[in-house]
Structure 1
Amino acid sequence: MSTKRAYVSPLREQAAARTRALILEQAELLFAERGYGRVTVADIAEAAGVASKTVFASVGSKSDILDRIVDKAVVGSGYEQAVARILDVRTPDGVLQALARGTRAGNESQFKAHEAIRKALPVHENGEALWERATADYRKALHAVARHFLEVGAPALRYSPEETADLLWFWFGPTGWRTLVVENGWSWDRAEEVLYRTAASALA
């Protein structure tokens, strides 16, 4: 006995994908501007020009939307490509320059997502786990860079490999960039230059 296959319309799938992308884009913007706790699904629906039930059907609850924003930001930061480029650099100073450039690019391109995530932490039902999800790959990448930095001939160690990775997180993690650019109004160019020089001076 044959069974009928459900017909899947490519045009309908494309339209659904565009709707999801628009909902996530507007949610990210609202979360970044107002804060996660002050935004409702109805607000997101209105900004995206769809019904609330479409939001739930397309991307889920507000918590689901934030999870999708986290996943999109991790991939969109380009951290894997940046680490690959850094691991090709063969001098300690070059490693730090490439790290400053790569982390600047990731933080700048994903600025709205980072703000959305950061503003959600105080009110999210599991903020600690959310921050861990958002930063785990970032931290692993900096540990890989720290090992490489030491392997390519960094000066006599003042710090252990673990401490070196912690310091790279301190300077080049999202909080360091945000402190200079958002809280103190530095340009991204100036922040990149100073963070690189600070790291180079401390680790030289």
Structure 2
Amino acid sequence: MSAKRSYHSPLREQAAVQTRERIMDCAAELFAERGYGRVTVADIAAAAGVSPKTVFASVGSKSDLLDRIVDRGVGASGHEEAVRRILGENTPAAVLDVLASGTRAGNETHFRVHQVIHKALPVHENGEALWRRATEAYREALAAAARRLHRLTPRPVLTEQETADALWFWFGPSSWRTLVVDNGWSWPAAEAFLRRTAAATLYAGSSGDADSGGGPGPGSGGDAGSGGR
């Protein structure tokens, strides 16, 4: 008896992918607006125009959805390209320029994903693992930047590990959130301030070229915080 042929339908596969993406988009929007703990699978299904059964079959549980949203955000963050750019720069000023502009672009473009993570952490069943999953590549990129800075002249006044930690303090998601969301700064103003602060601290007392100049204050660069909301 001959084996049954498997049926392959590109159109059906395409429809399944589109359904999955729609479910994830709706889930991300609801998680960002209401918070992970206040959203049910039924809410997500209603927003996506499908049944709860379809949500489970297409993506999985609510926790699976969150993991997929985070993974999609990490994959689209461009951290690998940012590291390549950092390693190609030959002055501290240029490295800091790439860091400031690159982390701003990532946080501004993927603001909704950061909102999802921020609101999920207090109630997620494994918040520590979620945070590590969301930020591991981000921290690796900043560590690569620290290594690059310590191979250029002048070198930072901090150790390499201290520099990596300080770059996370300045350019990690918490600082962007504090300035833009909590205090209403514009994204350009936050970028200029963080870049300027990093240069002033890492190269305190140095006559090198780490500081490329000033920048807009908190009240300039457009409506405060509007770039990510």
Q: Percent identity?
A: 66
Whichever structure has more helix as a proportion of its residues is: 1
CA distance in 2, matches of 1:108, 1:83: 18
State the AA in 2 paired with 1:13.
E
CA distance in 2, matches of 1:106, 1:166: 19
1:161 is aligned to 160
1:55 is aligned to 55
Please report how far the alpha carbon of residue 82 of structure 1 lies from its aligned counterpart in structure 2 after TM superposition. 1.2
CA distance in 1, matches of 2:39, 2:24: 13
Which SS does the other structure have where 1:151 is aligned?
coil
Matches within 5 A, 1:161-200: 161-200=160-199
1:2 is aligned to 2
Please report how far the alpha carbon of residue 158 of structure 1 lies from its aligned counterpart in structure 2 after TM superposition. 2.1
State the AA in 1 paired with 2:16.
A
State the AA in 2 paired with 1:137.
A
CA distance in 2, matches of 1:84, 1:178: 26
CA-atom RMSD, angstroms? 1.0
Matches within 5 A, 1:13-92: 13-92=13-92
Which SS does the other structure have where 2:63 is aligned?
helix
CA distance in 2, matches of 1:5, 1:129: 42
List runs of 5+ in structure 1 lacking aligned partners: none
| Residues 82 and 141, structure 2, Cα contact 8 Å, conserved in 1 | no
2:126 is aligned to 126
CA distance in 2, matches of 1:158, 1:92: 12
Could you state the TM-score of these two structures normalised by the residue count of structure 1? 0.97
CA distance in 2, matches of 1:92, 1:5: 61
CA distance in 2, matches of 1:175, 1:12: 42
Matches within 5 A, 1:130-149: 130-149=130-149
Q: How many equivalent residue pairs?
A: 203
Please report how far the alpha carbon of residue 5 of structure 1 lies from its aligned counterpart in structure 2 after TM superposition. 2.6
| Residues 24 and 69, structure 2, Cα contact 8 Å, conserved in 1 | yes
CA distance in 2, matches of 1:111, 1:126: 22
Please report how far the alpha carbon of residue 83 of structure 1 lies from its aligned counterpart in structure 2 after TM superposition. 1.3
List runs of 5+ in structure 2 lacking aligned partners: 204-229
CA distance in 1, matches of 2:140, 2:31: 27
CA distance in 1, matches of 2:46, 2:153: 56
Q: Deviations over 1:138-197 (max 9, x none)?
A: 111111110001112233x42110000000000000001111111111111111111111
State the AA in 2 paired with 1:182.
V
Could you state the TM-score of these two structures normalised by the residue count of structure 2? 0.87
CA distance in 1, matches of 2:165, 2:51: 45
Q: Deviations over 1:82-133 (max 9, x none)?
A: 1111111110011001100111111111110111011111111100111011
